[in-house]
């Protein structure tokens, strides 16, 4: 008994001691012992108007490594709306995102002489442009960025007392920490890529880890394929909205902790390189951001058609049947894709001679190319280690692979043992272009899909090819991602086992797990530790360059892994999702986030990549209803593709008649809207404006839509309100203030004076799409292939506020030769048109202004129909009409119709009779200026 008492006392005392030690450690961390910050010891202004200074650490410690004693900081207003704050080691060059990958200004080299430091030679502590004001405090050093127009603090790293939920600036070799205070009314968006179950608005205390990782999109709140350390902050003061953006340009792994009233970065390397974008509208922020990181790539017209893909099209006859079955079902299809089924032994740039015999494949491609369809194949970065494989031979001869201990780093993916190209090496970029050229000469592909470029590796550590067994495993019915190389863990270096563990894969998995060892080396001695998240970005640049050089055509590249600036070179899809209703809902948030990231050409696997019971191999009972609803959303994704896994049941849209009907309906509308999609693609290219947008982009003063992630806009005026739950035949949709017209039935109207939720009918084959007031929407008649659809007659839909005595509307249209690499007005291969309309005292005017009209005039395209919505009924008759000043009412080929609007919801003014007036048979050349006028009267 005494022994038990002694044991209990010892246990309790040990527990108490351990608990006290834990408290002490926690107190040590929370009371800022990890870092007492820095003090400013020198500051001055440079001849070009920048500010440079020196910071000295206040007190060193060894938690997460030793503090860097002296830091330099550089502050410059690079434009009137962009401010840069750059902080790094004052004595030693540190890793930064390479300036050749992401071109930008370089800070001047610091010529440090401690004995000659100028003590606070700058007399003021504020430094301003027209809108952004930078200020600092000296001890402990902190900085703030304010908006000049209203005095609002946008970023504030000042640690003022122990009650603050963050610490002063910490800067060690492998651990950097900085925080900012935030007001309660700030709505934040960004910090991706991750699947956010709470919607696109950042949710306090959710984890945000940035480190490119091959874990599927079904993992919530985890670091996924891309790294985008940028956020948009939207605030509203008294009904007036203000948005700004913050980018931390750093490619190292990081955790970002958002607590609602503060945001803290914890980064495992590199530097602090902040860029602040003044806004003040969400569109301004994205414009300023993409002006810096690179404008989104122009997409070819056909890319906005529908795409079909599956991992598991095991032979050519299968994809031939798929194309034929889409045709029989009368479902539009522009692009057929191959996953690695076409390859010989999963090797890049090869064709399987048995399942995809080259003569038959080329014959198939001739047939689909003749009708305007396209063909795209996958390409994984791992190059098979095979001495009989030409791609490997030439890669070895050119020394293009990432190295470990002086030899190419060995990993494993589908073909077995592989080496990874080092796209930071100029020789690799040239070798890659040559391999793409060789393959294109063999198979005339129309684009490339670069996958698994996080980088994905089935093994971990240092690996060798086993001598006593075959790798990859043979005889498996399904592809197997089990590591079959002989591997040993690599944990001996501080790069493979850093002192601070980011929340990798959602549970602090080692950062070299199932990827390239972080102590591996790139060109010029660059560590994988620093460059890891840039692999997909650098591969996209090399691939875009290679495709551009092939025939001088506009390239199409789809990349899974992305980084800041990837949108300049590639489109993106949201990765390996699952056939569930939750996954359907999550796709909207991810797609909207990528618009903010400067990657507007984005979509998700329609109907889900994995079956709903993944990771088991039990098949779901039926995904029919889900596929119905998914294509009704996916038809309006910027990038619209059905894609499924080899372990999933077949889910092409013709597999169920009900889904085929929904597809004909939704994709039928998409193909009519192709000129609109293409025009907002042009807007994205010249201004960064997302194709798919959150509602707050068009209604930033309407706070109720700040957290909305179940509806979205295409462009500024077209709203999609999908069904996202099973068994529903109606949807509750938010309508911001104004008049909205149903695109599928132009006579149906919703008038939401102050903004309202409205319950809409949504039977199985119906998706609700609404067009906002004051808009002119160009459409065509659709077709089975975009090549044919774009040659059909145009119609214009003109929307005025319902019943308004006076109103204006506008829209635009961009058309060009989409094979041309550049997308711009003035090259002789494009036409840009502004459409205008007004109504006043019963007179309606519609006119156009045309730039470079010859391109479209040579195509012979015409405007056949104009529908004008929301007009006062008056006496209900149209008494006169003129086109370019000439009366046309008596001309037999011009047909006029009047239809009364039906109000599904009306708030505010008394009920008025309003009508839609349709004029058909106009035959107005699209590239010619016109003016059409009519009067309503008795």
Report d(CA 605, CA 850) in Å as an integer: 38
Catalytic residue among 454, 530, 583, 632: 454
The candidate with the shortest Cα–Cα distance to 253, out of 229, 279, 277, is 229
318 inside domain: no
pLDDT at 112: 62
Beta-bridge partners for 798: 776, 868
Does any domain span residue 572?
no
Q: What is the pLDDT of residues 103-122, one digit of tens each?
A: 999 998 877 655 555 555 55
Query: In the numeric block, which tokens belong to residue 239?
Result: 């009904």
Task: State the CB neighbour count (10 A cutoff) for residue 323.
Answer: 18
CA–CA gap between residue 47 and residue 62 (Å, rounded): 38
Which pairs count as long-range contacts for 714-717, CB under 8 Å and 24+ apart, including other chains?
Answer: 714/636, 714/673, 714/676, 714/677, 714/680, 715/676, 715/679, 715/680, 715/683, 715/689, 715/691, 716/772, 716/775, 717/771, 717/772, 717/774, 717/775, 717/777
Cα dist. 527→252, 423, 553 in Å?
11, 13, 35
pLDDT for 31: 41
- 132-138 and 126-128 beta bridge pairing: antiparallel
Largest CA distance in the chain: 114
Question: Which parts of the chain sit beneath pLDDT 50?
Answer: 1-32, 123, 617, 619-621, 875, 890
576, 583, 605, 818: which one is catalytic? 576
CATH of the domain at 205: 2.60.40.1760
- Give the residue from 258, 293, 328 where a domain finishes: 293
Asked if 898 and 871 touch (Cβ cutoff 8 Å), the reply is: no
Task: Residue 718: give its domain's CATH number.
Answer: 2.60.40.1180
The answer to whether 42 touches 117, Cβ cutoff 8 Å, is yes
Task: Single out the residue in 231, 259, 293 at which a domain terminates.
Answer: 293
- The tokens of 679 are what? 């025009």
Residue 347 lies in a domain: no
The answer to whether residue 88 is domain-embedded is yes
| Domain of 755, in residue numbers | 702-936
Residue 576 bears catalytic tag: yes
Q: Are 301 and 818 within 8 A, CB to CB?
A: yes
Residue 423 in any domain: the answer is no
Domain boundary among 274, 293, 312: 293
Inter-CA distances, 340 with 306, 355, 434, 645, 699, Å = 20, 12, 20, 12, 44
In a domain, 392, yes or no: no
Count of domains for the chain: 2
Domain assignment of residue 47, yes or no: yes
* 57 within a domain of the structure (yes/no): yes
């Amino acid at each position: 008994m005494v022994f038990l008492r002694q044991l209990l006392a010892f246990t309790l005392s040990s527990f108490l001691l351990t608990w006290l030690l834990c408290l002490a450690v926690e107190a040590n961390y929370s009371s800022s012992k990890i870092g007492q910050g820095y003090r400013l010891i020198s500051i001055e202004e440079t001849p070009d108007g920048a500010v440079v200074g020196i910071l000295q650490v206040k007190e060193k410690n060894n938690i997460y490594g030793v503090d860097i004693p002296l830091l330099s900081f550089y502050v410059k207003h690079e434009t009137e709306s962009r401010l840069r704050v750059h902080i790094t080691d004052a004595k030693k060059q540190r890793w930064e995102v390479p300036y050749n990958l992401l071109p930008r200004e370089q800070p001047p080299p610091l010529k440090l002489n401690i004995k000659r430091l100028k003590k606070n030679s700058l007399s003021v502590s504020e430094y301003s442009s027209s809108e952004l004001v930078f200020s600092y405090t000296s001890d402990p050093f902190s900085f703030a960025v304010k908006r000049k127009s209203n005095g609002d603090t946008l970023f504030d790293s000042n640690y003022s007392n122990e009650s603050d939920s963050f610490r002063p600036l910490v800067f060690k070799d492998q651990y950097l920490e900085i925080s900012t205070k935030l007001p309660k009314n700030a709505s934040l968006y960004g910090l991706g890529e991750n699947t956010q179950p709470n919607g696109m608005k950042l949710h306090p205390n959710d984890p945000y880890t940035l480190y490119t990782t091959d874990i599927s999109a079904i993992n919530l709140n985890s670091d996924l394929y891309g790294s985008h350390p940028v956020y948009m902050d939207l605030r509203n003061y008294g009904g007036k909205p203000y948005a700004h953006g913050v980018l931390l340009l750093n490619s190292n792994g990081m955790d970002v902790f958002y607590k609602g009233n503060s945001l803290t970065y914890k980064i495992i390397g590199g530097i602090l390189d902040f860029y602040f974008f003044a806004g003040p509208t969400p569109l301004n922020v994205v414009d300023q951001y993409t002006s810096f990181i690179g404008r989104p790539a122009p997409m070819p017209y056909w890319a906005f058609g529908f795409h079909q893909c599956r991992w598991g099209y095991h032979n050519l006859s299968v994809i031939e049947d798929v194309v034929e079955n889409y045709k029989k079902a009368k479902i539009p299809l522009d692009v057929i894709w191959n996953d690695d089924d076409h390859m010989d032994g999963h090797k890049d740039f090869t064709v399987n001679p048995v399942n995809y015999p080259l003569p038959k494949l080329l014959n198939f491609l001739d047939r689909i190319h003749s009708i305007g369809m396209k063909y795209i194949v996958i390409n994984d970065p791992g190059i098979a280690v095979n001495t009989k494989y030409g791609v490997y031979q030439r890669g070895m001869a050119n020394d293009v692979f990432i190295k470990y201990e002086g030899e190419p780093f060995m990993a494993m993916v589908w073909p077995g043992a592989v080496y990874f190209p080092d796209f930071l090496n100029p020789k690799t970029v040239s070798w890659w272009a040559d391999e793409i050229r060789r393959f294109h000469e063999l198979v005339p592909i129309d684009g490339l899909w670069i996958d698994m470029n996080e980088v994905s590796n089935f093994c971990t550590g240092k690996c060798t090819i086993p001598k006593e067994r075959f790798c990859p495993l043979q005889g498996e019915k399904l592809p197997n991602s089990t590591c079959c190389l002989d591997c040993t863990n690599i944990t001996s270096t501080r790069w493979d086992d850093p002192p601070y563990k980011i929340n990798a894969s959602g549970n602090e998995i080692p950062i070299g797990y199932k990827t390239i060892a972080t102590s591996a080396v790139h060109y010029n001695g660059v560590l994988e530790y620093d460059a890891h998240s840039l692999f997909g970005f650098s591969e996209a640049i090399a691939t875009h360059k290679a495709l551009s050089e092939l025939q001088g055509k506009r390239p199409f590249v789809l990349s899974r892994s992305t980084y800041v600036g990837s949108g300049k070179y590639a489109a993106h899809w949201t990765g390996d999702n699952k056939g569930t209703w939750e996954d359907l809902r999550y796709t909207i948030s991810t797609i909207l986030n990528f618009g903010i990231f400067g990657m507007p050409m984005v979509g998700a696997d329609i109907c889900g990549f994995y079956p709903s019971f993944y990771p088991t191999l039990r098949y779901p009972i039926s995904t029919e209803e889900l596929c119905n609803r998914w294509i009704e959303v996916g038809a309006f994704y910027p990038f619209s593709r059905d894609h499924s896994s080899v372990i999933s049941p077949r889910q092409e849209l013709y597999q169920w008649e009900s889904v085929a009907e929904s597809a004909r309906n939704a994709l039928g509308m998409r193909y009519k809207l192709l000129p609109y999609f293409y025009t907002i693609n042009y807007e994205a290219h010249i201004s960064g404006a997302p194709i798919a947008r959150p509602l707050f982009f068009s209604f930033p003063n309407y706070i109720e839509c700040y957290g909305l992630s179940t509806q979205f806009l295409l462009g500024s005026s077209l709203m999609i309100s999908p069904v996202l739950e099973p068994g529903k035949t109606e949807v509750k949709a938010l309508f911001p203030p104004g008049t909205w017209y149903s695109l599928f039935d132009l006579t149906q109207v919703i008038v939401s004076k102050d903004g309202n939720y409205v319950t809409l009918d949504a039977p199985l084959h119906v998706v609700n799409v609404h067009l906002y007031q004051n808009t002119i929407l160009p459409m065509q008649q659709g077709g089975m292939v975009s090549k044919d659809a774009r040659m059909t007659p145009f119609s214009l839909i003109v929307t005025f506020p319902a019943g308004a005595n006076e109103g204006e509307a506008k829209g635009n249209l961009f058309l060009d030769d989409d094979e041309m690499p550049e997308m711009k007005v003035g090259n002789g291969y494009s036409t840009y048109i502004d459409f205008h309309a007004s109504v006043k005292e019963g007179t309606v005017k519609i006119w156009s202004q045309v730039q470079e009209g010859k391109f479209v005039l040579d195509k012979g395209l015409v405007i056949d129909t104009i529908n004008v919505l929301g007009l006062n009924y008056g006496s209900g008759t149209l008494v006169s009409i003129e086109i370019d000043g000439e009366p046309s009412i008596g001309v037999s080929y011009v047909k006029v119709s009047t239809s009364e609007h039906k109000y599904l919801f009306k708030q505010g003014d008394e009920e008025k009779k309003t009508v839609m007036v349709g004029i058909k048979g106009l035959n107005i050349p699209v590239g010619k200026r016109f003016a059409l006028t009519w009067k309503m009267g008795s």
